[in-house]
Homo-oligomer: A and B are copies of this chain.
Amino acid sequence: MAGCVSPPWKALLLKALETNSHLKHSSFFQLATIGPNGRPSNRTVVFRGFEEGSDKIHINTDTRSNKVEEIKHVPFAEICWYFTDSWEQFRINGKIDYIDSSNKDLAKLQQREKAWFASSPKSRLQYLGPSPGLPVICQETVKETHLEPSAGPVAAFCLLVLDPDQVDYLNLKSNERMAFTFTLSEDGSKIWKFETINP
């Protein structure tokens, strides 16, 4: 009966992903966090799927990127996901967890490993490159890197998991907008409800 508790916004999102799947960028969205100076930060990241049987959203990142520091400081984020063909927007607000190699939770480390092997060999290589955001010291120091396909996640690989607690859906073709929120049931599972709001 797990399907019955699937949030209604997730069905809308899966449908939007399908409708827009001919566009490579349909799996890209913008992730906003809060910087160390208290200002907003915003960048494009890639959707890596939902956690199995849940509404949690996976994102891969480099532990050396600014966003990991930011999330350690303020663990909240908002995704803005605009689908350019169907004119639908999802704003997904929630708490974000980071899973790096120092994590003590075995189940989480397994998720991280799974995410590593689900990413392409080419995208794995970028975690062996120089620290993102730091000045390019010298072009010639870039070494040829190689990774065995069977090698597990490298130290710089980090899995981010966003646990949504509020979703704002806007359809610019039908001019409809819905606000999704949840309450917790007695067994601790989320019961999502929604309200139609003015666009």
Instruction: State the A residues within 8 Å of B (CB).
Output: 23, 25, 28, 30-34, 38-44, 74, 76-80, 82, 84, 89, 91, 93, 129-136, 179, 195-199
Contacts and interface: CB of A to CB of B under 8 A. Distances in A.
Contacts of A199: 132
A25, A38, A198: which has the most chain B beta carbons within 10 Å? A198
12 contacts: A30-B80, A34-B40, A38-B74, A39-B93, A40-B40, A40-B93, A42-B42, A42-B79, A42-B80, A133-B198, A135-B195, A135-B197
Contacts of A74: 38-39
A34 B32 CA distance: 9
A28 to B, nearest CB: 7
A89 B31 CA distance: 13
Most central of A31, A78, A93, A196 by chain B CB within 10 Å: A78
A89 B136 contact: no
Given A32-B32, A39-B93, A93-B39, A82 B44 contact: yes
Contacts of A134: 197-198
